[in-house]
Each structure stands twice: as C-alpha cells, then as structure tokens.
Amino acid sequence: MPNQKRRKDVRNIAIIAHVDHGKTTLVDALLKQTGAYHFKDGEATIMDSNPIEKERGITIFSKNASLKYKDIQINIVDTPGHADFGSEVERILRMVDGVLLLVDAFEGPMPQTKFVLRKSLELHLKPILVVNKIDRPQARPHEVVDLTFDLFCELNATDEQLDFPIVFASAKDGTATFDPADKPRDMKPLLETMIHRVLPPVADPAEPFQMLVTMLDYDSYIGRISIGRIVHGCVKVGETIALVKRNGDVKRGRVTKILKYQGLRRIEAESGEAGDILSIAGIDEVKVGETLAAAQNPVALKTIKIDEPTISMNFSHNTSPFAGKDGGRFLTSRHLRDRLQHEAMMNVGIKVEEVEGRESFKVSGRGELHLSILIETMRREGYEMEVSRPQVILKTMGDEVLEPVEEVFIEVDPGYQGAVIQALGNRQAELRSMQVSAIGTIRLEFLAASRALIGFRGEFLTMTRGTGVMYQNFYKYQKYKGALPHRQLGVMISQQEGPAVAYALWGLQDRGEIFIRPGEDLYEGMIIGASNKGNDLVVNAQREKKLTNIRAAGSDEAIQLIPVRDITLEFALEFIEDDELVEVTPKHIRLRKKDRNEHARRQANKRRLAA
C-alpha cells in the first residue's frame, strides 16, 4: 500500500534455526559488538537464561533483546527451534518484519529449520541467510547455500523471498563476512545487512493505539504483563485503554507501567509508539491473541492462529506412601490446579481441563517434549505429582476417526538403517525418502502416527548405539491407523515397603534390567525394573541371605551388580503403560502401578478383559 508510513529508526527481527546451530551464540556476539551487554568472565549464551535451557542447550522460551547500531534500534527475538514449541514461534513471527535464518556451514539445513522457515514464509517475511560456523573443519558454506535455496523452493517461497542476502559468520568468534575467503574481523557485515535488508515496521503514530498481545508475563508486584508490538498510535503511563477480547467484549483498564528492552534488561519508560516491542502492565484479564486498543476506538487486530495440542496427559497430586518426604512444598490438588491454570494463562500452547469425578487434570500440549519441560519446571519449583502415559488427541470428522501424524527425520551411521526401517515399519510408519548426506550418514524421512512414536526414542538410541539423531514435526491429521504394537517387556513390581537389598537385586538381575540401587526405599506397587518376559512379576527386593554356622571356602559367591539405568523423565514417560504412573518429586522420579495392591490389579485386569 503506497500510503503506509514506516518508522525508519527501528528494525524488528527474529532468529530462526535448527537446534544447536548457534542462534543464541549469535545474539550474544551481536550484543557484545554493539556494547549492549557487558559479559562476566566465563559467561556464555546469556539468552538461554532458564536453567533447563542451559542444561539441555536448547531454546524453549522466546526472549527479547535490543541493541543500537548507527542510531537504529534493532529488536531481536530468539525463537525456539523445536516443533513442540510451535505456539511460541507462531506468535513471535507476528511481531517482526524480517528473519535471520541461521544454518550450520557443515550440517546444512535440517528438519527443524524447515518447520520454522515454513511458518515465516507463510507470513511473507523476508529472510537473511546466515551461514554460521564457517570456522568448523570440513565446513562447506557454498554447498550449504545451494541446499538452503533448494529448501526455499520446496517450501514455495516467492521470487522476492528467494532473492535473500547471504552472510557467512562464526558466532563463536564474533565475526561475519560476505565472502568466506576473506578474513572477517567483526559482526558489522551482518549488522549492515540487517538495517538495509529488513523493512522498517509499518507504523503510524497519528492513528488510534492498537497492539496485539503475543506473549504474557507475570510479576507478583505489578500483575499480568502484556508483551507485543504496537501496530498503530502511541500509549502513555496512566492512560486508559481498551482490551478487546476474542469474543468481541470490550473491557477498560489503566496502564500502570511500560517496560522497554535495553540490551537484555527491561527498563521503565513513560510512553511507547508504533513499531516498538514493549511490555504493558495494568490490564489484568488479558490473554494471548487479544488486542489492546485506544479507549475511544476499540478495534481488534487479526488474532493469532495457534497450533492445536496433539498429546495429553493426566496430572494428579502425589498419592504414594513417600508423598511429602522428598522436599516437595506443594502437595495438594489445589496447589496443582493453581499452578496449571497459571501455566495455561501464560502458555497458549497448553490446555488444562479438570477430569470429572477425580482430583486430576488433563493437560494437553504440542508433544512429549512440551509437556516434559512443564513437568521438569514444576518439580524444580517444589511440586509433587503423578502423571499418566501420554495419549494422542483423536478427532472425528463425519464417520472417520483421525489421529495426528508426524514427519520423522532420522540420521544414522551406515549399517543401522535396516534396523531403524524395520522397527518403524512394525509401527506402521511410511518411508518417504532415503539418501546419503554429504558427511556419509544415512538420512531417512518417515510419516508415522504420533502414538507410534511414544516410547520409540529410547529404543532408537539403543538400536543405533546412541549415535542416531531423530527429529519429528507435526504433519497433519490422517485416518486412524488401527492397533499398534505395545511395549514388549513386563515390569518387576515391589511386593512390600522397605529398603532394597543388594543380595535380592543380585538374584533379580537375571530376569531383566534393574532401575534401583541397594538401600533405596521402596513401597508396594513401585516398579523396580523391566522383566525380560512379557508378563509383570511381583518380586521381593528386600530378601536377605539366610545366615548359617557352616563355612566353606568358595561357597559364597561375590555379589556383582550390573550398573542400573538412571530414570530420566523422558525415559519414564516413554516407558510406562496405561496402568502405570510416573511419580515426580523434587528429588526423585519413580515408576509405579496405578493400583499398588496386587489383588486390586488382578481385579481391575479381570474387569478390563470382561469389558
């Protein structure tokens, strides 16, 4: 539109990339170059501020940063690379006018790159290609540019989007260049490209105020905080504005605080104008996707389409005999309800429903990783809970039942592809392509039902001796594929309460894999290992060796225990069946049967078979 006004002193940019391609490191380098942040000794990846992000080395929550270059304010948003956090990506891309597409100079474009790039191209954003890690041995930057161009074509990019500028960088060294043959010195080539190739935001300060709420934050002192980009007009502290709800209702509130970004810090400001990305406090009932507007002209902006949840789990308070003994501070279902409702309010990708007739909550999300991050966060906050096996969310259209299907991308060393194809074939997955990558690995692409992939990751890592790489993206809903194979192993269940004894575990380890160590406290119904036979075994892990007064040289065998498997949250969620639960506390993750009593389990099994 020819009459559109643009604000020349601002650029709003998102960084999109595959996991571990260095986007967080690149933001750090830009902040260093412009002096927007002063690093402490040994500090790295400051954008990954959440402890779980630092441990896993991935970005989970979108974060904003701001820097100044040549009197132009560049607002940068670091977006998640995992498909499970699609709701975060969707919202962030609505706030920006351009994207930095970061690709590894050795690995090239990868599956998660495809997921986020598709979203940005659909929103007609123009990308800048940054080929990172050009200092890596065997880097092939020019070949990676060609592969990325092919990916753009595959995603139906427009001619304008295909004419993307290319910058070669080493984020770790803090350098960028237009030609990898040159010796780069700093990040100026990238900064120049950002201010010249990303359009200034469309912004008319003379029009009535409008802002789409794309994220929420919460502060115990100032309440709910709305984060977004002002599309039109201006806003000041103390001003009365309107909140336009999704259903068209209009509510009014007063702006108590405005916060802008300076480097990584949020600083208070008196006002904001069109083109700014900022935070507004004072509007308490706001939700993601709703519009803040001028009180005299409450007109809503186009709302955000959020990807629907595909996986659900039941959360309930901890009912095991060890409840409250592991340092948990929040133990009741009321605590759980309040925390989950707060999460659903802040995280638009999570949906929470109460289960009728039970003190439990059905929590739906975009995938196993999405929900496991929520569980891990809650346990660190001091919550104790029990969670059920993940279940896919089915849809009914007419007479047909539909289920979510995912694209699965696998990279394995030569020799393992046969076992992977067979294992996924048994789970009714469809092989779409198989090719040899530039580094000699085999790349496989499948379509598989989401429920077929629950529990597959652990089996896949065992099958490939821990060397395989697997990614998955939601594809679409397809016709229900019928019954799928279940876990082949049974479990060993503790018969009684008490500490585990090394002698008893030594006698049990021939029957399967053990999950517990000697001296660990057990209770009736707790799962202590996997049984090689398909059926469940109730075992006595407290049995001690009988003492006699007869001694003979060599008659006592030395007790040698095989190292036990560490129970991680991901393994636990993948391993359990429908009649089992994962008990999560701040100190332990345990597996247990829903019915702890053996007689109750037998009765429940009879009722299930009769039905």
Binding residues for GTP: 20-25, 132-135
Whether 111 contacts 154, CB under 8 Å:
no
Distance between CA 194 and CA 191 in Å, rounded?
5
Looking up tokens 């559109």, which residue turns up?
4
* Torsion, CA 595, CA 596, CA 599, CA 601, rounded to 10: 30
Within 10 Å of residue 243's Cβ, how many Cβ atoms? 23
Phi then psi for residue 389, to 5 deg, are -65, 140
The binding site consists of: 20-25, 132-135
- Using a 10 angstrom Cβ sphere, with 0-12 exposed, 13-18 middle and 19 or more buried, the burial of residue 217 is middle
- Report the largest interatomic distance among the alpha carbons of the chain, rounded to a whole angstrom: 101
Distance between CA 442 and CA 320 in Å, rounded?
46
In sequence order, the 6+-apart residues with CB closer than 8 A to the CB of 17 are 23, 81, 101, 102, 103, 112, 113, 116, 132
Whether 127 contacts 161, CB under 8 Å:
yes
Distance between CA 453 and CA 369 in Å, rounded?
12
Tell how strand 490-494 and strand 442-449 pair up: unpaired
Take residue 531 and report the two structure tokens written for it.
Answer: 């049984």
Consecutive H or E run containing 526: strand 526-531
Take residue 301 and report the two structure tokens written for it.
Answer: 């902006």
Nearest CA among 328, 334, 332 for reference residue 319: 332
Phi then psi for residue 326, to 5 deg, are -110, 25
Whether 243 contacts 174, CB under 8 Å:
no
Distance between CA 185 and CA 559 in Å, rounded?
61
Consecutive H or E run containing 522: strand 521-522
Take residue 392 and report the two structure tokens written for it.
Answer: 């896919």
- Burial profile 498-520: b = 16 or more Cβ within 10 angstroms, e = fewer: eebbbbbbbbbeebbebbbebeb
Task: Tell me the sheet residues that pair with 312.
Answer: 364, 391
DSSP state, 202? Answer: B
* Torsion, CA 67, CA 68, CA 72, CA 76, rounded to 10: -10
Distance between CA 214 and CA 90 in Å, rounded?
9
